């Protein structure tokens, strides 16, 4: 039974997790006053708690007799502890010199991945040398390295020294886009680093000889993967599912697994750890024959699982699985049985207590949602169909597990990725047996390949299984309707559906009707909220000006009809714009079209129009707004042609002027009527151009600093 009284850890994690969220998200910066206030509150609550316990002990009464006093005190104490933990655990910007040429020295934590223009890699910085200062730091950064085909490429675990320029990580500022800076700052990434390819690169871009760390995770992963010889996609799959290293996965392979609903197979999770635990139980069975006791084998298996977690980098899913199997093994060894959900939540509490920022990690949220869904919903989905045949019963068991996991994770998947795979059930039925055999062979092969025995045999088996899995995913992803994309879910609706899903789990395992009434109330609230949002969208208009990779986009919306006008310099910029439109302007919500302006003289959109009035100047507008897009140098004659003065009266003054591509104009600010126009400068212009315009204009908006320019009616 799903009885909340058997899950006492809920009384701890609810206030503690709420405090962690408040501490990490509620304060923009750590101030001394905040630290003092939190410390004083924590001290006062602790003193009150101790005094209350001493008082009731002296009176010979149990504290439980006045639970109305102790419960709020305990709740507030845990909330304050969580808040303080969240504040102090948040990484801080180290304040390294940006925009300058520097020399950095550190460890490459992820092998470079080839891109369109450069190799990208992750690096942990130990030392940074600027013109007159030496910085010691432990921050991480994203590096970009342009190298010839015959050059030596850094490998994970190596210590290198580079010269180049630091650039802070910033958001694109586009509405609906991910808060990339916050996501990376939680991982202690604050800068991008562009490695120099000039004359100094031959001097500074060299390996720094240092002490080798033989037990470094990246070094162990590299030594194991060096025994695998095959195609790039097959070896990269083995690295992902066996060692947790997804850095070498190709974009095509990622897309195939995403469309087929098999991305969870590429991340080492509870399925992988469970298979490894099962194999290790058989491989260490000889310990029972020697010691005649289960304790030695349990300690050995748990120790090997934690060593595997160390090798994979202590990811959220691996730590969760290893912690749960440790609790399970310990309880079985002691002959006790604990509630499964309670054990899951205890492991979550311990992981967040050690590293509070895990709570905001998408992988952490999906991992625990999936395992809780399997534990609570799988017994229900399994009883839907009664199968007597042994083989068919096994197939239905695997299918019901996949259904339970998908139901539990569907709201988060839609919210974060705006898509939902439809063939994931078929994917699980095909891929899980192959993955089980692959993991079994991998665990058995490690001792032999480390000793140089049967390397070719194990390599052949692993590569062929990886090839079979890849081909299966490619065929499934190519089937029509494999991926349901363009889905949208806001934070309010996400919270409602997660709470409704939790209440549904409680209702199915209980006899009370109250959870069902609450579920109906939440569903009604969700429908009302969506109706209100739809009406608000239908009777509103919007203007959005933003930039992508040095290109400009102007969006005009009337109700659910949207026109996208794009000025771009290359196909990469256009691809960014199309991807943004597909994610943030869902075809299931909006009727949108994208227009590539280029050299087009006139474009008639569905709710707006764009017309070229001069070389490099377009007149753009809809029902509620109109303005100019300027991309080349203009003179006063253009302004008189478009917006004549007519004796000082200006009835058609533009609502905005967008400057893109650093156009030059003279004496424009002298026109009095134009000084009240909003001047928008997007991110396609260099910083010196923005500073010059900022000095000569009153109403100026910079999209690369303040985000997209948005105006609604």
Q: Which of 94-98, 335-339, 662-666 has the highest mean pLDDT?
A: 94-98
pLDDT at 1: 47
Per-residue pLDDT tens for 297-328? Answer: 788 888 888 888 888 877 777 887 788 778 77
pLDDT at 28: 47
Looking at per-residue confidence, does 385 or 105 come out higher?
Answer: 105
pLDDT at 640: 66
Same structural domain, 75 and 147: no
Per-residue pLDDT tens for 357-386? Answer: 888 888 788 888 888 888 888 888 877 777
Task: Extract the tokens encoding 210.
Answer: 């240092």
Q: What angle do CA 212, 217, 221 make, to 5 degrees?
A: 100
CA 179 to chain centre: 9
User: Does the residue 366 lie in any domain?
Assistant: no
Of 211, 244, 262, the last residue of a domain is 211
User: Does the residue 316 lie in any domain?
Assistant: yes
Phi first, then psi: what are they for 548, rounded to 5°?
Answer: -140, 115
User: Does the residue 369 lie in any domain?
Assistant: no
pLDDT at 198 over 50: yes
pLDDT at 212 over 60: no
Same structural domain, 291 and 335: yes
- How far apart CA 408 and CA 368 sit, in angstroms, is 9
Q: Which residues partner with 420 through β-bridges?
A: 484
% of residues, the chain, pLDDT over 90: 0
- How far apart CA 212 and CA 666 sit, in angstroms, is 62
The Cβ-side half-sphere exposure at 143, using a 13 Å CA radius, reads 33
- How far apart CA 266 and CA 438 sit, in angstroms, is 13
Q: Are 83 and 23 in contact (CB under 8 A)?
A: yes
- How far apart CA 314 and CA 633 sit, in angstroms, is 55
Number of domains composing the chain:
5
Task: Extract the tokens encoding 450.
Answer: 């480390």
Same structural domain, 328 and 473: yes
For residue 428, give the nearest of 257, 287, 282, 546 by alpha carbon: 257
Per-residue pLDDT tens for 382-395? Answer: 777 777 777 777 77
627 by Cβ neighbours in 10 Å (0-12 / 13-18 / 19+) ranks as: buried
Q: Are 157 and 150 in contact (CB under 8 A)?
A: no
Please list, in sequence order, all residues whose beta carbon lies within 8 angstroms of the beta carbon of residue 128, skipping any fewer than 6 positions away: 96, 97, 102, 103, 104, 105, 134, 135, 137
pLDDT at 335 over 80: no
Domain interval for residue 56: 4-89
pLDDT at 86: 81
- How far apart CA 620 and CA 602 sit, in angstroms, is 10
The arrangement of strands across the sheet holding 656-659 comes to 602-604, 608-614, 617-622, 626-630, 656-659, 678-681, 700-702
- How far apart CA 628 and CA 211 sit, in angstroms, is 61
pLDDT at 164: 86
pTM recorded for the entire structure:
0.78
pLDDT at 48: 64
Per-residue pLDDT tens for 653-685? Answer: 778 888 887 776 655 555 555 666 777 877 666
pLDDT at 200 over 70: no
**What confidence tier does 2 reach under pLDDT thresholds 50, 70, 90?**
low
Q: Which of 21-30, 504-513, 589-598, 648-657 has the highest mean pLDDT?
A: 589-598
Helix axes 362-382, 491-509, angle to 10 degrees: 30
CA 688 to chain centre: 33
pLDDT at 41 over 70: no
- How far apart CA 600 and CA 339 sit, in angstroms, is 67
Same structural domain, 241 and 278: yes
Same structural domain, 572 and 664: yes
User: Does the residue 239 lie in any domain?
Assistant: yes
User: Does the residue 415 lie in any domain?
Assistant: no
Q: Are strands 159-168 and 101-114 parallel, antiparallel or unpaired?
A: antiparallel
Q: Which of 21-30, 327-336, 512-521 has the highest mean pLDDT?
A: 512-521
Same structural domain, 576 and 468: no
Residue written as token pair 């004659």 = 637
CATH code, domain carrying 624: 3.60.15
Rounded to an integer, the average pLDDT of 628-642 is 71
User: Does the residue 469 lie in any domain?
Assistant: yes
pLDDT at 175: 64
Same structural domain, 151 and 298: no
Phi first, then psi: what are they for 335, rounded to 5°?
Answer: 75, 25
- How far apart CA 519 and CA 429 sit, in angstroms, is 32
Q: Is the dihedral of CA 570, 575, 581, 584 positive or negative?
A: negative
Radius of gyration of the chain (CA): 30
pLDDT at 78 over 50: yes
Same structural domain, 242 and 142: no
Per-residue pLDDT tens for 170-196? Answer: 776 666 566 677 778 777 888 888 887
For the chain, the average pLDDT equals 77
For residue 459, give the nearest of 238, 215, 169 by alpha carbon: 238
Of 166, 190, 211, the last residue of a domain is 211
Q: Are 329 and 302 in contact (CB under 8 A)?
A: yes
Please list, in sequence order, all residues whose beta carbon lies within 8 angstroms of the beta carbon of residue 39, skipping any fewer than 6 positions away: 84
User: Which of 497-511, 568-582, 695-709 is least confident?
Assistant: 695-709
Helix axes 232-243, 424-450, angle to 10 degrees: 90
User: Does the residue 368 lie in any domain?
Assistant: no
User: Does the residue 96 lie in any domain?
Assistant: no
Other CB atoms within 10 A of residue 500 CB: 20
- How far apart CA 312 and CA 270 sit, in angstroms, is 13
- How far apart CA 250 and CA 232 sit, in angstroms, is 9
Q: Determine the number of helices (DSSP H) and then strands (DSSP E) in the chain.
A: 24, 21
pLDDT at 163 over 70: yes
CATH code, domain carrying 146: 2.40.50
pLDDT at 649: 42
pLDDT at 646: 43
Same structural domain, 206 and 290: no
Of 186, 211, 236, the last residue of a domain is 211
Q: Which of 1-15, 19-33, 287-301 has the highest mean pLDDT?
A: 287-301
pLDDT at 339: 66
Per-residue pLDDT tens for 110-160? Answer: 777 777 667 888 888 888 888 778 888 888 888 888 766 556 778 777 788
640 by Cβ neighbours in 10 Å (0-12 / 13-18 / 19+) ranks as: exposed
Same structural domain, 191 and 245: no
Q: What angle do CA 119, 121, 122 make, to 5 degrees?
A: 165
Rounded to an integer, the average pLDDT of 407-413 is 85
**What confidence tier does 648 reach under pLDDT thresholds 50, 70, 90?**
very low
Per-residue pLDDT tens for 219-264? Answer: 788 888 888 888 888 888 888 888 888 877 887 888 888 778 777 7
- How far apart CA 456 and CA 446 sit, in angstroms, is 13
In the 8-state DSSP scheme, what is residue 224? H
Please list, in sequence order, all residues whose beta carbon lies within 8 angstroms of the beta carbon of residue 171, skipping any fewer than 6 positions away: 177, 178, 179, 180, 181, 707
Phi first, then psi: what are they for 41, rounded to 5°?
Answer: -60, -40
- How far apart CA 261 and CA 630 sit, in angstroms, is 45
What b/e string do you get for 444-461 counting C-beta neighbours within 10 Å, with b at 16 or more?
bbeeebeeeeebeebbeb
For residue 234, give the nearest of 473, 467, 474 by alpha carbon: 467
581 by Cβ neighbours in 10 Å (0-12 / 13-18 / 19+) ranks as: buried
Q: What angle do CA 612, 614, 618 make, to 5 degrees?
A: 35
pLDDT at 83: 81
Looking at per-residue confidence, does 483 or 94 come out higher?
Answer: 94
Same structural domain, 235 and 339: yes
Other CB atoms within 10 A of residue 162 CB: 23
For residue 87, give the nearest of 47, 32, 45 by alpha carbon: 32
| Torsion angle defined by CA atoms of residues 296, 302, 303 and 306, in that order, rounded to the nearest 10 degrees | 180
Same structural domain, 608 and 524: no
**What confidence tier does 30 reach under pLDDT thresholds 50, 70, 90?**
very low
Per-residue pLDDT tens for 42-74? Answer: 666 666 666 666 666 665 655 554 555 666 777
Residue written as token pair 């087929």 = 260
Q: What angle do CA 294, 298, 300 make, to 5 degrees?
A: 120
């Amino acid at each position: 039974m799903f009885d909340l009284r058997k899950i006492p850890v809920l009384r701890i994690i609810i206030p503690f997790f709420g405090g962690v969220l408040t501490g990490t998200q509620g304060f923009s910066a750590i101030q001394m006053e905040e630290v003092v206030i939190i410390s004083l509150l924590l001290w006062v609550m602790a003193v009150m708690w101790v005094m209350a316990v001493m008082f009731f002990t002296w009176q010979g009464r149990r504290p439980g007799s006045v639970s109305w006093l102790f419960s709020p005190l305990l709740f507030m104490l845990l909330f304050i502890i969580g808040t303080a933990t969240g504040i102090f655990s948040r990484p801080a910007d180290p304040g390294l010199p940006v925009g300058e040429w520097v020399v950095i020295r550190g460890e490459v934590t992820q092998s470079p991945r080839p891109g369109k223009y450069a190799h990208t890699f992750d690096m942990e910085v130990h030392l940074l040398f600027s013109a007159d200062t030496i910085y010691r730091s432990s921050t991480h950064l994203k590096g970009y390295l342009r190298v010839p085909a015959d050059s030596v490429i850094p490998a994970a675990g190596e210590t290198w020294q580079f010269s180049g320029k630091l650039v802070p990580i910033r958001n694109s500022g586009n509405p609906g886009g991910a808060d990339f800076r916050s996501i990376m700052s939680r991982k202690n990434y604050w800068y991008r680093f562009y490695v120099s390819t000039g004359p100094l690169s031959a001097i500074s871009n060299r390996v720094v000889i240092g002490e080798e760390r033989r037990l470094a995770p990246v070094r162990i992963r590299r030594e194991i993967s060096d025994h695998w010889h095959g195609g790039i996609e097959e070896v990269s799959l083995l690295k992902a599912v066996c060692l947790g290293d997804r850095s070498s996965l190709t974009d095509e392979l990622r897309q195939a697994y995403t469309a087929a609903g098999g991305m969870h197979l590429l991340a080492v999770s509870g399925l992988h750890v469970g298979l490894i635990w099962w194999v290790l139980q058989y491989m260490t069975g000889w310990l029972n024959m020697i010691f005649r006791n289960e304790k030695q084998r349990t300690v050995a298996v748990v120790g090997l699982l934690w060593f595997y977690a160390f090798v994979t980098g202590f990811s959220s899913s691996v730590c969760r699985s290893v912690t749960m199997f440790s609790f399970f093994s310990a309880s079985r060894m002691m002959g006790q049985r604990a509630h499964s959900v309670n054990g899951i939540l205890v492991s979550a509490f311990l992981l967040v207590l050690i590293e509070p920022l895990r709570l905001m990690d998408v992988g952490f949220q999906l991992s625990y949602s999936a395992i809780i869904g399997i534990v609570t919903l799988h017994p229900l989905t399994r009883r839907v169909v009664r199968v007597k045949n042994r083989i068919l019963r096994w197939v239905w068991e695997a299918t019901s597990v996949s259904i339970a996991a998908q139901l539990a994770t569907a709201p988060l998947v839609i919210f974060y990725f705006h898509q939902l795979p439809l063939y994931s059930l078929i994917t699980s039925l095909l891929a899980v047996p192959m993955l089980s055999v692959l993991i079994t062979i991998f665990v058995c092969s490690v001792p032999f390949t480390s000793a140089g025995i049967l390397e070719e045999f194990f390599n052949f088996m692993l590569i062929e299984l990886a090839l079979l899995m890849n081909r299966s995913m490619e065929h499934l992803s190519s089937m029509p309707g494999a991926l349901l994309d363009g889905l949208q879910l806001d934070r309010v609706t996400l919270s409602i559906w997660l709470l409704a899903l939790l209440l549904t789990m409680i209702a199915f395992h209980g006899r009370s009707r109250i959870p069902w009434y609450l579920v109906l109330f939440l569903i009604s609230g969700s429908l009302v909220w969506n109706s209100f949002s739809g009406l608000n969208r239908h009777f509103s208009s919007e203007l959005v000006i933003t930039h992508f990779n040095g290109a400009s986009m102007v969006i005009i919306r009337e109700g659910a009809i949207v026109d996208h006008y794009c000025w771009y310099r290359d196909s990469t910029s256009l691809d960014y714009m199309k991807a943004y439109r597909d994610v943030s302007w869902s075809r299931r919500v909006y009727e949108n079209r994208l227009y590539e302006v280029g050299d087009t003289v006139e474009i008639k959109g569905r709710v707006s129009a764009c017309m070229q009035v001069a070389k490099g100047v377009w007149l753009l507008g809809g029902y509620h707004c109109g303005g100019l897009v300027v991309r080349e140098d203009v003179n006063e004659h253009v302004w008189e042609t478009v917006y004549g003065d007519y004796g000082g009266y200006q009835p058609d003054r533009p609502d905005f002027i967008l400057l893109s591509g650093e156009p030059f104009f003279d004496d424009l600010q002298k026109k009095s009527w134009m000084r009240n126009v909003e001047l928008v400068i997007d991110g396609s212009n260099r910083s010196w151009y923005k500073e010059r315009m900022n000095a000569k204009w009153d109403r100026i908006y910079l999209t690369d600093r303040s985000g997209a320019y948005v105006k609604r009616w």
